[in-house]
Amino acid sequence: MTGVFSLLPDGRPGLLAPLLSGAWLSGGSEDVSRYLAAGGYAPLTAPDRLLDRIAAAGLRGRGGAGFPAAVKIRAVRDAPGRAVVVANGEEGEPGSVKDRWLLRHRPHTVLDGIRLVAAMTGAERGCVYLSDEPAERAVHRALAECPPRLRIDVVRTEHTYVAGEETAVVRRIDGGPALPTAKPPRPFESGVGGAPTLVANVETLARIALIYSRPEAALAVAGTHLVTLSGAGAGAGAGAGARAGAGVAPALAEVPAGTHLKVLADLCGHGTAEAVLLGGLFGGLHGPGWTDLPLDHDGLRSAGAALGCGALHFLHPDDCPVGVAGEAAAYLAAQSARQCGVCVAGTGALARTLTSLARGRAGADSADQLHRWSRQLPGRGACGLLDAGARIVATLLAHFPDRVDAHRRAACRACAGAAPEDGRRFTVPVP
C-alpha cells in the first residue's frame, strides 16, 4: 500500500491541517485519551446550532449520492417517532477502503459522530453496521474504552455490493437478509423497527464530529474527501510509493474538493494513465479530458460522471477500456441481489455482450444493443447496481468509440490475454 496521505489545496503533498491529518491520517489506531484531549466527546448543549453549522459548511454525505447531510438529519428529526442512527461502514464498492480504514483506525471519531447526530435527531439508539472483522474489533474496543450513554449496537453482515444500500442495511439490522427493498418508504420515514432512521456513511459521521470539535475549520472539514486511488500501471515519473517496473500500490488520500484528477494521478504513481474509472464502479469510464476533471460532485456530474464513494481506478496504456468495462459489468452481474428481474436480465446482457466484444466475438449489432440498454436500464432496479452497469456502458461508448469499433473485428492483445472477469483488478487492500 502506498499509504495514507494528505494533500494541500495548492497541490503540494503534506498536511492539509493539523486537525485533519492529526486526527485522521497519522499512523496507528485512535487513542481515546488523545481524542478526549483534542475535544472529542464534548457535551452538546445546542443541537440545532450544530445542525445549522453542518448546513452552512455544505457537508454532503460520503456514501455515494452526495446528498446534503443537514437535510437528511432534519428529515429524521422531524419524522414522528423515536429515531435510530446507523453508521454505515459496509463498503460494497471493491475499489474503496476509506470506511473500513476509519472504523479500524478512527472508531472514536465515528462513534462521536453517532452521539452528535443522535442528539440532533432525538435518537435513543445507534448502530454500527459493517462486514469487516478488524473494524468490528476496533469498534467494540472503542465502546469499552468510552462507554456511551446512548445504546449502540454493532451489526455485522456479509460483504456484498448491495449490502450497504440503505434499505438493505435496515433489513439486515431487523434480522433479515442484507438485500434492498422497494421504496417508498425510505428509512427516514420507516426504518429500523419501523422507526425513522438515519443511515449515514461513517465518513459523514466522522466529519460531523470534526466540525463540532473544530468549528473554525468547518468549511475545510466539509470540503475534504477521503479517496481511494488504485490502478495496475507502473507510472513514469511517479510520486510516493511507486515501484519502477511494477504495479503501483494503492493509496488512501485526503484531498480538497476541486482537486484535478491529474494531480492525484501524478502524486500516487499513475502519471502515465490514459483513462480513469470513477466512483468505484458507479461513476463510469472517462478517457480524453479526464485529467481536467475536478474531484467534486457537481463538476463530475456536469461531465456525465459521478464521484460516488470516492474510489478512482486509473487505466494505463496496457489496460484496455473495453476489457475493463467487461470485467466491471461481469462483477456487477455476479453481485446482483437477484430480486429484480430487470436487474438480473439487464446486468447479464451487459456482461455477456461486453465480454463477447472484448474477445472480438460480438455481433454486428452489439454496439447498437449496448447503446439502447444504456439508455433504457437506469432507474429500473431497486438499488444502484443496474445504474452502475448502464453508466459503465454509456461512458465506454461515449469516450472510446474507436476502441469499441475495433473490438467488433478482433480482440486486442490486452483482452486476448486477460484473466477471468472476477473483479480482482478493482479490489484494494485496507492500509
In this predicted model, what pLDDT tens digit does every residue of 282-317 receive, in sequence order? 899 999 899 999 998 888 988 888 898 999 999 999
More confident residue, 27 or 133: 133
In this predicted model, what pLDDT tens digit does every residue of 198-224 receive, in sequence order? 999 999 999 999 999 999 989 989 999
Residues 282 and 387 in one domain: no
Q: How far apart are CA 393 and CA 322, in angstroms?
A: 9
Q: Is the pLDDT of residue 2 over 80?
A: no
Looking at the domain assignment, is residue 154 inside a domain? yes
Which residues on adjacent β-strands are paired with residue 198? 85
| Other beta carbons less than 10 A from residue 295's beta carbon | 23
Looking at the domain assignment, is residue 285 inside a domain? yes
pLDDT at 420: 56
Last residue of a domain, one of 172, 190, 219: 219
Residues 208 and 251 in one domain: no
Class of residue 156 by CB neighbours under 10 A (exposed 0-12, middle 13-18, buried 19+) = middle
- Count how many domains the chain has: 3
CATH number at residue 186: 3.40.50.11540
- Domain span at residue 263 reads 223-315
Q: Looking at 282-429, list the stretches that DSSP marks H as alpha helix, in order from N- to C-terminal side.
A: 297-302, 321-335, 341-358, 366-376, 385-399, 401-407, 413-416
Q: How far apart are CA 145 and CA 127, in angstroms?
A: 17
Q: Is the pLDDT of residue 14 over 90?
A: no
According to DSSP, residue 196 is labeled -
In this predicted model, what pLDDT tens digit does every residue of 76-126 receive, in sequence order? 999 999 999 999 999 989 999 999 999 999 999 999 999 999 999 999 999
For residues 139 and 154, the answer to whether their CB atoms sit within 8 Å is: yes
Q: How far apart are CA 286 and CA 293, in angstroms?
A: 9
Q: How far apart are CA 180 and CA 384, in angstroms?
A: 10
Q: What percent of the chain has pLDDT over 70?
A: 88
Residues 311 and 341 in one domain: no
pLDDT at 237: 34
Alpha-carbon torsion (266, 285, 178, 109), positive or negative: positive
Average pLDDT over residues 227-232: 90
In this predicted model, what pLDDT tens digit does every residue of 252-263 receive, in sequence order? 888 889 999 999
Residues 166 and 78 in one domain: yes
Question: Of the ranges 182-186, 417-421, 427-431, which one carries the lowest mean pLDDT score?
Answer: 417-421
Q: Is the pLDDT of residue 19 over 50?
A: no
In this predicted model, what pLDDT tens digit does every residue of 385-396 receive, in sequence order? 999 999 999 999
Looking at the domain assignment, is residue 62 inside a domain? yes
Predicted confidence band at 419 (pLDDT cuts at 50, 70, 90)?
low
Residues 211 and 70 in one domain: yes
